Structure 1
Amino acid sequence: MFERLTAATCRPHCESPSGDAQAEFDERRGLAFELEMEHFRQHRLISRRTLLWMAGGLLSAAVGGTAAYARFAAPQSVQIDHITLPIAGLAPHLAGTRLAQISDIHAGAFYSPEQLAHAIDQVNQLGVELLMLTGDFATVRERDRARRLALREHAFMSLVEPLRRAAMPMVAVTGNHDHWGGLEPMIKLLHAVGVTLLRNAAIPIGHGLWLAGVEDVWGGRPDLPAALRDIPVDATTLLMAHAPDYFDNVLQRNAPVAVQFSGHTHGGQVRLPRFTPGPDGLYTYAPIVPDFGERYPIGLRRVGNRYVYTNRGLGAWPMPYRFNCPPEITVFTLECA
């Protein structure tokens, strides 16, 4: 069913200036984003730590070891979620198409290549036809420029062998952490593995089924019209966009996108109980979510005939804790509405 995917960076309609000047600009911009975030959000990191310890302390009175679970066990307990997507106008021969998604690996922070290898082995057992990688492959905190560049490249390249274990084609988009400091290490990684990187572009993945991808809104230059330009009007279009709140742009443009697949938020990582269900239908909420992930922080949301799905990610950042929010591999099955 699926077209052959090649190891390529698809970006035909939105070229940025190239060369050393652009690379230097991207690196300086990335460093500025990182430093500004560390400075501006320091109170938020402290608040997150405080919330974690408060939650751990209160719950451990009834259930011993909760804090240890949130730190050591929960981040390792990958959950496989199965989602059925009834899509209006889907060609009957595409019904039953199965896709998988992983996101937010954050190698170099609190996630190891061995953990990713295990996750890929799990995906290989799921009978999917394509694996979507929705950004934030690696994260390094280091202010010294030379050391930072070396550590970033090492973190990205540590994922080569784990990703090579995948038995299906893979398609990726950029995340904010991939942009911050320059995209070259990510591009080098994906080229080495044979992953198709979509930067404001689209590819056919089946007869009448297209997959588009945009650069991340926080650090990149997303261009939805460019990404959708080559797609036939009668095709079903799926979109990969790292930040889930980009879905509002899809809605505002009335873009012909059936489903947007995103990551970025990690589901909040720490989710506390609530007495009434939220917009996502869950009886939990995340006290802190990142910018561009506040409207659709977790799971499946439907607006009209369109869906957005926010994957909880595999890694963790900026703290290595998860509570009520396990790491996730998602399997999607397309069906006719």
Structure 2
Amino acid sequence: MKKIVAWKSLPEDVLAYLQQHAEVVQVHPAQHGTFVAALKDADGGIGSSVKISSAMLEGASRLKALSTISVGYDQFDVADLTRRGILLAHTPDVLTESTADTVFSLILASARRVVELAEWVKAGQWKHSIGPAHFGVDVQGKTLGIVGLGRIGGAVARRAALGFNMKVLYTNRSANAQAEQTYGARRVELAELLATSDFVCLQVPLTSETKHMIGAAELKSMKKNAILINASRGATVDEQALIEALQNGTIHGAGLDVFETEPLPADSPLLKMANVVALPHIGSATHETRHAMARNAAENLVAALEGTLAINIVNREVLKK
């Protein structure tokens, strides 16, 4: 019988599904030695939010497939997995809509100062009608620049254009004809997007090319009243440069669901800024979506071990070996 290592807690029905197809060994990644030993004796693995290094896979000669319960896969050395003949699967579709909801909640909360003013009310500060000092800015009719118009970026564009009558600009490796035709999105260079957008939304994976793609120079090129939204990966932004830009008034504010270090350290200057909405990486964090992701990842793994998986494959080159 095949053996699967699970390094993340799984819903009962998803665990039962896996147990119908293989022996499942549940380990806690904090127990590093036990975790590595289990990988050496496994045919497959499933989990998320843990860095799987090349050293951890030494001697794991049986390992044929890993399935991450996420759309992002920067926790894996994909080239190393491919060299070892280990297929990597992910869950790119099931979290699109809930993550796009989170992105748009950041846009609205940042523009209308929702978190700041809610806390102000709870603190008993609302004693008279508010004035300009507490006003926010409109979202409807503004320009939204989306860096990376893939599945999630496209879902954000739909909300922006059809729901809020926003002008949508985007940068992407290739043109998105559907977004252009349906939402009126216009593909531009990053420099134009940064210079003309009221909201700049990052929706790119973390790669060597996208790490710190938004730094001091890029922030300085944005409009002074612009708001940066990041729900992709924290390291796509130079966090220190962002802190300085927010402190200096280079940009108006930021809505952030991701950070270079997670959890965000309690002494981070970002937590002291009224013009920052900071969330604990909740992009796909709904009961429905997280369950669907776990089920999808489990199905990916079972199919991969049976040699029938045809979708959601990160390193398709493995199939050619």
Structure number with larger C-alpha Rg: 2
TM-score normalised by the shorter chain: which range applies? Answer: 0.3 to 0.5
Which structure features the higher share of strand residues? 1
Q: Which has the higher contact order (CA 8 A, sep 6+)?
A: 1
TM-score by length of 2: 0.36
Which structure features the higher share of helix residues? 2
